[in-house]
Every structure is written in structure tokens, then in C-alpha cells.
Amino acid sequence: MNDWGRQRLVEALDRRAAAGRPARFWLRDDDAVEPTDALARFLTLTEAFSVPVTLAVIPEETGIALEAYLAGREGVSIALHGWSHRNYAPPSEKKQELGSHRPAALVLAELATGFGKLSALYGEAMLPMLVPPWNRIAPDLLSLLPRIGLRTLSVFGAEKDRGLPELNTHVDVMDWHGTRGGRPADILFGEIAARIESMGDGQAMGLLTHHLVHDGAVDGFLGSLFELTTAHPGCRWQPAGALLTA
């Protein structure tokens, strides 16, 4: 088995350890609504390695079942994942809930309702962070988000100056357009290494997961990533809240 990606990651972490500058990692898992076997399997894995996780929760249909399931767990924080995760873009466009297909005031009102609902359910575990469904949002909406208390954006890809602080994800474990299963572990290790090598001071390496669709390949990858990184002095998994205030 080819393991150049893993090798590159170990070397990147070794360099960080030697420099006394551990690379900061964070984990965002999307689309939680209710407790499921898939969520239990995912959290069993993160908890086994004490890796903190931010769950991007879809507010419209969620309720006390998920809140009760998560209550008392260490290291779980919550972000706002749109309102309904419904697509309003025509078939000719990429899917979007928070695009410019509807009036900004309407979209903002839905987000405010969702943020209020999740804040009431989760209290201190609720982050003032918006994770747009499909990682897309109309640029016009961004400057309006602070009005409803949302102070950080989290999408996929390198952070940009879009007018709102960003804490993004950079490596996605899923192969959405091919097998719809987990991507090859060695490719993922290589992408994580590349992010560590290219990110600036104060930035972090964000891993993106979707517990509802994980297969054995994803579980296997996460297990080996956590095993490698949590024991390495060149890596520090951090809760998103700590990175927002850093």
C-alpha cells in the first residue's frame, strides 16, 4: 500500500513539533438533526481519542431528542447549519439554501429563528457560527449576519476576506461525485499535510465529515488519523470555540 501521504503528514508534524509550533486541527461534522446509529458510531470514535467536534445542526426539524443525547458529553459544540437545508437554486445551478434566490430579509429571518432555537437548546455549547448548507452563501448576506448574532462563517476551502471572520474546513473525507464513499486515506493524509504546510500563523486545519454517510473507509481513516495525530506533539486538536477567540 502506498503511504507517501501519511509519510508527508508525519514529516509536517515532526517539523511543527521541532519548531515548538503545533499545528492546530479542528473537526466539523455536518447535517445532525437527531440521534442515529451513525452519530453514535461517529461520537464513539471522537470520544475514544478525546477529539473535540463541532456539529453543524439543521435547526428546522431538530429538537430535544438530539439535545438530550448530547447533554453531558465532553467536547461537543454546535454550529448553525442553515435553517431547513432545502435547495432553492434551479437545477442549472449548484444547490443553495442561502443563495440570492429569495429576499435577503426572508433568509435572514429564517437564520435568526434557527439560531434562537439552537441557542435555547444548547446554551453555552452554541457557537455564533454559520455553516451554510453546501458551503455556499450569497455574498450580500454576509454583512447582515452580525445583526442576528452570527459572527463567524465556516465554509470549505482556504479562508478569504469576505467581510466576516472565517474558520473553514479544508479536507473533506467524502467522495461526493465518485463512489459517494470515503476517499482514499493516503490522499487525505497528503491533503492534510499540504494544508499544514501552507497555512499561516493563527490558522487551523479543518477536517469536514458527514456522519450520516460514513462507510468503513471513513471510519478506518478517522481511526488512523486520530491515532497518529492525537499522540503527536506537532498536532493539537482544538474546539472551534478556542480557535474563534484565538
* Binding interface with Zn ion (CB under 5 A): 30-31, 133
CB 5 within 8 A of CB 186: yes
* Residue 189 three-state SS: helix
Nearer to Zn ion (CB atom), residue 12 or residue 98: 98
Q: How far is the CB of 17 from Zn ion (least distance, A)?
A: 34
Nearer to Zn ion (CB atom), residue 4 or residue 176: 176
Q: How far is the CB of 168 from Zn ion (least distance, A)?
A: 15
Give the separation between CA 39 and CA 16, rounded to whole angstroms: 32
Nearer to Zn ion (CB atom), residue 30 or residue 172: 30
Q: How far is the CB of 45 from Zn ion (least distance, A)?
A: 20
- List C-alpha distances in Å: 114 to 81, 138, 142, 241: 9, 18, 16, 19
Please list, in sequence order, all residues whose beta carbon lies within 8 angstroms of the beta carbon of residue 66, skipping any fewer than 6 positions away: 32, 33, 34, 35, 57
Q: How far is the CB of 79 from Zn ion (least distance, A)?
A: 11
CB 78 within 8 A of CB 118: yes
Q: How far is the CB of 107 from Zn ion (least distance, A)?
A: 16
**For residue 36, which of 10, 57, 9 has the smallest C-alpha distance?**
57
CB 216 within 8 A of CB 5: no
∠ CA 30-89-135, rounded to 5°: 30
Nearer to Zn ion (CB atom), residue 97 or residue 186: 97
∠ CA 201-140-59, rounded to 5°: 80
Nearer to Zn ion (CB atom), residue 59 or residue 133: 133
Q: How far is the CB of 82 from Zn ion (least distance, A)?
A: 7
Using CB positions, name the residue nearest to Zn ion.
30
Nearer to Zn ion (CB atom), residue 32 or residue 185: 32
